[in-house]
Amino acid sequence: MIMKRICAFIFVWSIIAVACTDTRSNCPTVIKDPQVVNSLEGDLVTPDSVISVLDWKLTDRYIVIYTSQADGVLQLWSLPELKYHGSYIRKGRGPGELIAANWGQTVERNAVILYDIPAGKLTRYLVRNDSLETECVLDIVGRRTQDKSLFKPYVDILQMNDSFYAMRASDRQKDELSIVNLRHGNVVSYAEELLQRDPEKDQYLEYDYLLATDGRHLVKAYMESDRIEIFELLGTDLLPRCVITGPENSVSSGYNDIICMGDRFACLFASDGSGEGNILEVYGYDGSQLDRIALSHPLTHILYDEKNKIFYGYNACSEKNNFYLFRYPK
């Protein structure tokens, strides 16, 4: 029965992708199938220390948690037992401290990045042995006169390769997504804005979104609407490839998190408007719908461990201090 539904997904997708296009970018628009195919029961793991997750990532030996704790904004939790190992990187103006430590994303498995807008710096750390080591520090202020505007209110920075970073600047009036070569300190291109809004009429939060990358693709999932956009980095340009939306009569909802999983990605979908994701949608980078999973516990954050075939989850809206483990052998 599951295989029949999956085959139906692919068949429907192939028809819709040909029939529907976004008139601004001429990229296909896919209408997703809202039916749940699978369900996953989660195992609860109570950690040996209080957790507070703002963001996180998986490395070979640890889960790195970005937190607001005073003793360090980065925490290491050992795998697979999920034991607290230590806290690192304090906020401040002393040696090794950051004035404002903002979480960034990198495709390097055993690296994390933090950017400090007041200092105009981005720092990349390597997770080695039992600690974090500073690998490099890059300026996020343009070196050329025409690129001095690199010093902007960045809300997302994602490292796509050794030189290129996807950098989103937003001040609630203007939203700008660009590809920047931080090794040279210059903007190389700007991404097309597929969903236009009128700042005078449209609420900013209705257009706010999340970003994730596998290094080649950039996935944009909207937090207050049922919409996903997929871009591909070709040379220096970030080109739109596909838009995924829900049916016209779908209930207002949005996405909580995105994870890239090799040749596919998953988005955590809040189907009931609660702000907690209870559905996990899995897609190919061509927009093909691969799976739609009902989760036994609502989440706000999710990771995928490819080696052990496990989703790790966390719910920042819950008072319970738990990790959730969902086994997904696909």
Range of the domain at 133: 2-327
Q: What is the pLDDT of residue 19?
A: 36
Beta partners for residue 280, in sequence order: 268, 293
Q: What is the pLDDT of residue 189?
A: 94
> Residue 56: how many CB atoms within 10 A of its CB?
22
Q: What is the 3-state secondary structure (H, E, C) of 196-236?
A: CCCCCCCCHHHHCEEEEECCCEEEEEECCCCEEEEEEEECC
Q: What is the pLDDT of residue 203?
A: 60
Tell me the pLDDT tens digit for each residue of 27-73. Answer: 899 999 988 889 999 999 988 887 889 999 999 999 999 998 878 99
Q: What is the 3-state secondary structure (H, E, C) of 142-170?
A: CCCHHHHHHCCCEEEEEECCCCEEEEEEE
Both tokens of 233, joined, read 């980095």
When divided into structural domains, the chain yields a total of 1
Q: What is the pLDDT of residue 147?
A: 54
Cβ-in-10-Å burial (0-12, 13-18, 19+) of 50 comes to: exposed
Evaluate if pTM is beyond 0.85. yes
Q: Taking the alpha carbons of 190, 196, 201, 204 in that order, is the dihedral positive or negative?
A: negative
Contacts of 81 (CB under 8 A, 6+ apart): none
Q: What is the pLDDT of residue 175?
A: 87
Domain containing residue 133: CATH number: 2.120.10.30
Q: What is the pLDDT of residue 5?
A: 38
**pLDDT tens track of the chain, all 330 residues?**
333 333 443 333 433 333 344 435 678 999 999 888 899 999 999 888 878 899 999 999 999 999 988 789 999 999 888 899 999 999 999 888 899 999 999 999 999 999 998 888 999 999 988 889 999 999 886 655 555 556 678 899 999 999 999 999 887 778 889 999 998 888 899 998 888 766 665 565 567 899 999 999 999 999 988 999 999 999 999 999 999 999 877 666 899 999 999 999 999 999 876 779 999 999 999 999 999 999 999 999 999 999 899 999 999 998 888 999 999 987
Beta partners for residue 116, in sequence order: 121
